[in-house]
């Protein structure tokens, strides 16, 4: 088992990576902390979340840009460029899937089992809901429906945990409870649009 000093070194490296805007390395450092199977502090949770948000955020932006350009090229009838863009977009989708799968594995195998504080558990289920929602942004058909359902379930667990355990929550945790219904509505509207 890792010593307190090793844990501190991982956290310091993550902070350093954040300052250098090297978010992939920030994520790797915080994954090492998560895999120690100890409850993360608020600071450690935030470092993990910020790292993954930046890693996924850049790729989500890339995906939106590529999708827009692909539609424009298809509209112009330029099938050769549209095909090139589609291949590139699919590469980004593969990266997005990999990142989402990675964080959800860390959450399910290490963070939730090591969590004893209610607020931590709520935080992790909210993250799961978010990352399933990110998958729903680019998946299609039954895959989209499946990840949208997982997203809703994670948000519902999050909300139920808040209500059933009467957790003293931070403002961000309370926001989750208020966002669950609108998020369900948005996901279901998107799902109906893409299934039609």
Whether residue 139 contacts residue 97, with contact meaning beta carbons closer than 8 Å, is answered with no
Q: What is the DSSP letter of 140?
A: -
Domain 1-114 coded CATH 3.30.1280.10: no
Confidence of residue 196 (pLDDT cuts 50, 70, 90): very low
Q: Which long-range contacts (CB under 8 A, 24 or more apart) does 3-9 make?
A: 7/33, 7/36, 7/38
Q: Does residue 57 surpass a pLDDT of 80? A: yes
pLDDT of 191: 47
The domain locations on the chain are 1-114, 118-196
CA dihedral (183, 186, 188, 189) in degrees, to 10, reads 170
The gap from C-alpha 66 to its chain's centroid, in whole angstroms, comes to 20
Could you tell me the CA-to-CA distances from 45 to 40, 66, 115, 144 in Å, in that order? 6, 32, 11, 28
Top-confidence residue, 159 or 31? 31
Answer yes or no: is pLDDT of 186 > 90.
no
Q: What is the pLDDT of residues 22-44, one digit of tens each?
A: 999 999 999 999 999 999 999 99
- C-alpha pair distances (Å), 78 with each of 74, 137, 191: 6, 25, 29
Nearest Cα residue to 131 out of 117, 113, 160, 111: 111
| pLDDT (mean) for 106-127 | 91
147 membership: H or E segment, kind and range: helix 141-165
**Structural contact between residues 33 and 1, judged by C-beta atoms closer than 8 angstroms:** no
Please tell me the distance from the alpha carbon of residue 59 to that of residue 54, in angstroms, as a whole number. 9
Alpha-carbon distance of 51 to 32, in angstroms, equals 13
Residue that has been written with the tokens 């609108």 in this structure: 182
Q: What global pTM score does this model have?
A: 0.82
Answer yes or no: are the C-beta atoms of 110 and 34 closer than 8 Å. yes
């Amino acid at each position: 088992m890792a010593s307190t000093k090793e844990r501190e070194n991982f956290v310091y490296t993550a902070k350093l990576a954040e300052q250098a805007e090297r978010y992939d390395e920030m994520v790797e450092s915080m994954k090492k902390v998560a895999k120690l199977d100890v409850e993360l502090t608020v600071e450690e949770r935030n470092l993990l979340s910020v790292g993954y948000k930046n890693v996924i955020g850049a790729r989500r932006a890339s995906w939106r840009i590529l999708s827009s350009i692909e539609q424009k090229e298809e509209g112009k009838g330029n099938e050769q460029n549209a095909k090139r863009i589609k291949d590139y977009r699919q590469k980004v989708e593969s990266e997005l899937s990999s990142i989402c799968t990675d964080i959800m594995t860390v959450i399910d195998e290490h963070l939730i089992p090591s969590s004893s504080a209610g607020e931590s558990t709520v935080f992790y289920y909210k993250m799961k809901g978010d990352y399933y929602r990110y998958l729903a942004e680019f998946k299609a058909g039954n895959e989209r429906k499946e990840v949208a359902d997982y997203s809703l379930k994670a948000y519902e667990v999050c909300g139920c945990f808040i209500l059933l355990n009467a957790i003293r929550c931070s403002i961000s945790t309370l926001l989750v409870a208020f966002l669950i219904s609108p998020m369900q509505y948005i996901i279901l509207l998107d799902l109906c649009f893409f299934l039609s």
